[in-house]
Amino acid sequence: MNQNTSDASDSVLIARTIQDYAERNPIKPGKYAAKRIFAGEKAQITEIAFDAGVELPDHMARTPIIVQVISGEVDFTVGGATSTLGIGGSIFVEANVLHAVYAAQQARITVTFLNS
């Protein structure tokens, strides 16, 4: 029988509620604000808070990413196709792929950068 042992050092609490994100990275009028909220050996997580009508224009990540909407709604464009993602919506994007994010309303996303 295999026995796995773990303790509190085997985990990192990132957020208890959506309020944790709002307090840590407030929405800035007319802008987007990015804040790294976790940096580990296997992944990093950045939260991006968007004011209404703000776009994060075309850009690429050096690693594969998983993007998840935690509040509001965003239009996520990759490869010429745009998907509207609401709360809980998520998308995976390979490394070095051009993509953009537009928030018609205030929104928050998390971006998990996967280390290889």
Residue 28 tokens read as: 């800035």
pLDDT score, position 8: 62
pLDDT in tens, 56-114: 999 999 999 999 999 999 999 999 999 999 999 999 999 999 999 999 999 999 999 99
Does 6 have pLDDT greater than 70?
no
Q: How far is CA 100 from CA 13, 22, 79, 88, 112, in A?
A: 29, 22, 10, 18, 16
